[in-house]
Structure 1
Amino acid sequence: MPESVRQHYELYPYPDYPLFASVRRRDTYANNLDALWALFNGELPPPAARRILIAGCGSFAPYPFALANPDTPVTALDLSRNSLKRARLHCLLHGLTGVEFLPGDLCDPNLAPGPYGMIDAYGVLHHLAEPLAGLRALAARLAHGGIVRVMLYSRYTRLEEDSIRRALRFLKVRDPEQVRRMVARSGKDSRLRGFFESSDEVSSRSGLADALLHPQVKSYRIAEILDLVAASGLELLRFAHRGALPEPEREVARIRELERDKRAPGNFVFYLGRDVKGPCREQDGVYRLNPCLAAALAPWRLAPLHLPGRLGHENAALDGAERRFLRRFRKPVPAADLSRAELVKAGDYADRLFLMRCRT
């Protein structure tokens, strides 16, 4: 990875959430290794795969991953020592241990050797000089049955952002305060001012730097993503950006239609896998509650339960009846003990990662 990228994140660790900013464990349910492994393999991960790598962890991601997986070793790898320092402090302030913080380049095969059951590369590969080399380096660390989550910038989502970034580079603007002064002097109808008024990311210094001053950025069309995945040797399992269809082929077709009009569903989020076994059938195996939701479903909690959308779903608040239904799965429930209607409901919750469906 270019030295300029390391220097950028030493100056602007990202994101810069307050150190006391907290996350509820129930909201980390989609980061739980058991739930993700069960979704794509129809079973719980074997002991050798109970490890998580956050490749390019930044200053925050180790905290929600450690919260979601308290009994699973997490390795947090990043170029920037300042980012790692802030990430370590965030975990310590919230009483989370079990995270190894490792400085270095994810393309270095001597760092963080596998196998890992899950690798997170959220917003990382598009900052590499050779994204394919980075993805292959992650694939080499992945256990059989393992899962990689990737987020990549979308070309049509970032048209304005990329245009402004190129203009600022041409003008040799390198400091966030320079950009803010330019915005202050710009006309009320200028594109630069319009972007600042519509973007939440530029409200912070590090967010502005990441969006508009980053030295190495690539954005993607869907065809380029498919080529990248095919060359990596991994299998495309599922898209997980907002509104994504569950079947990859249908979602690819939907995105192609959007791109014909120079539109996109936002930045691309998707899961890749190596030799996954496929999900367990609804009528087979047993169902278990995602462990991140156990405390939130306690009987004395009477208010509706709100969970953030994941895997393309918009989650409505769970009412009392739905919570009572999910409580039944605190202990494993065989599919044979469920009615047809209950199986359909349990299958939907398993697809959303609220439940884990595993072969017996």
Structure 2
Amino acid sequence: MPESVRRHYELYPYPSYPLFASVRRCDTYANNLSALWSFFNGELPPPGLSRILIAGCGSFAPYPFALANPGTQITALDLSRKSLQRARLHCLLHGVAGVDFVAGDLRDPGLAPGPYAMIDAYGVLHHLEEPLAGLRALEARLSEGGILRVMVYSRYTRREEDSIRRALRLLKVRDPEEVRRMVAKSARDSRLRAFFESSGEVASRSGLADALLHPQVMSYRIDEFLELVTASGLVPLRFAHPGALPEPEREIARVRGMEKEKRSPGNFVLYLGRGVKGPCRDEEAVFRLNPCLSQALAPWRPGALYVPGRLGQKNATLDGAERRFLRRFLNPVPADGLSSAELARAGRYADQLFLMRCRG
């Protein structure tokens, strides 16, 4: 990454969540390595391969990943030592351990060498001078069957931010407080004021700096993003931005249609794979509960439970009957131990990552 990007995050560690901001473990279910591996490979991760890399981890992501994966070796890699210090402190304050914090550039093959079963690069590639070199550096660290999640900026989602950012660069505005003074002086119907009133991102100093003052930003149309993916040698497995359809081909067609109207589903979130085996059929499966949900489903916890969807679609609220059904899978349940209706029900929960579906 350019030195300017490192300096930016030393000044503005991102994101700026309060240190005492906590996350329910059940909300981290889509970060669980066993759940993701079984979703895309139809089996549990091989022994000795329980390793996760968070590339460009920022100041927060190590906490929910460690919460989701106790006992898993997690490496948190970032250019910014200040971001790593805050991430380490957040983990310490919330009593989570098992994270190795590493400062440096993800393109350096000597740092955080693989293989990793899971790599997360959320909001990273679009800040690289050479995104393909960065993506290939991550691909080289990925194990066979490994999964890489990326998020990149979408051109039409970022259109207003990009326009304002370019204007601020031309004006040589580099300080968040100076931007806020400009907003205060702007007309009530100005685009700048309208953006500030509609965006939660700019409420914090680091959020404003990340959105409007970042020195290196690229946004993508869907086909530009797919060219990058194809050149890396990785295979698209599943889009996970809001509203995403389960099949990559259908989602690509949907997004292309939106882009013809200069619209977007949001920034692109995509799971990529290297030599994955593919999911297991319901009829051949042994089902297990995602371990991140076990405590939230305890019988002594009253009331309904809502856990947001993480694969593009909304989840239904779990009432008492659904919670009781899911508790059956605290121990492995083979498909032949379920009725046809129960098997279909279990399959739907496996599609949401609430259950793990593995070959028997």
* SS at structure 1 position matched to 2:48: helix
Residue 275 (structure 1) aligned with residue 278 (structure 2): no
- CA shift at 1:299, angstroms? 0.8
CA distance in 2, matches of 1:47, 1:92: 28
Once the two structures are superposed, residues 163-192 of structure 1 have per-residue CA deviations (whole angstroms, 9 ceiling, x without a partner) of: 000000000000000000000000000000
Once the two structures are superposed, residues 304-337 of structure 1 have per-residue CA deviations (whole angstroms, 9 ceiling, x without a partner) of: 0010121012012101111111000000000011
| TM superposition score normalised by structure 2 | 0.99
Aligned twin of 1:120: 120
- CA shift at 1:301, angstroms? 1.2
* SS at structure 2 position matched to 1:54: strand
CA distance in 2, matches of 1:104, 1:51: 19
CA distance in 1, matches of 2:85, 2:303: 37
Aligned twin of 2:159: 159
* SS at structure 1 position matched to 2:283: coil
CA distance in 2, matches of 1:248, 1:345: 23
- CA shift at 1:25, angstroms? 0.3
Determine what percentage of the aligned residue pairs are the same residue: 78
* RMSD of equivalent CA atoms: 0.5
Q: Given that residues 49 and 146 in structure 1 are in contact (C-alpha distance below 8 angstroms), is that contact kept between their aligned partners in structure 2?
A: no
Q: Which amino acid aligns with 1:247?
A: E
CA distance in 1, matches of 2:315, 2:213: 35
Q: Which amino acid aligns with 2:284?
A: D
Q: How does 1:1-360 map to 2 (within 5 A)?
A: 1-360=1-360
- Larger mean CA deviation between 300-309 and 34-43 belongs to 300-309
* SS at structure 1 position matched to 2:109: coil
Once the two structures are superposed, residues 319-359 of structure 1 have per-residue CA deviations (whole angstroms, 9 ceiling, x without a partner) of: 11111110000000000111111111111100100000001
Once the two structures are superposed, residues 208-252 of structure 1 have per-residue CA deviations (whole angstroms, 9 ceiling, x without a partner) of: 000000000000000011101100011000000011000000000
User: What runs of 5+ residues in structure 1 fail to find an aligned partner?
Assistant: none
Q: Structure 1 residue runs of 4+, over 6 Å off?
A: none
Once the two structures are superposed, residues 278-308 of structure 1 have per-residue CA deviations (whole angstroms, 9 ceiling, x without a partner) of: 0000101200000000001111112100101
CA distance in 2, matches of 1:132, 1:349: 35
CA distance in 2, matches of 1:214, 1:316: 38
User: What runs of 5+ residues in structure 2 fail to find an aligned partner?
Assistant: none
Q: Which amino acid aligns with 1:187?
A: A
CA distance in 1, matches of 2:80, 2:310: 29
- CA shift at 1:47, angstroms? 2.1
Q: Which amino acid aligns with 1:226?
A: L
Q: Given that residues 48 and 115 in structure 1 are in contact (C-alpha distance below 8 angstroms), is that contact kept between their aligned partners in structure 2?
A: no
* SS at structure 2 position matched to 1:283: helix
| TM superposition score normalised by structure 1 | 0.99
Q: Which amino acid aligns with 2:83?
A: S
Q: Which amino acid aligns with 2:159?
A: L
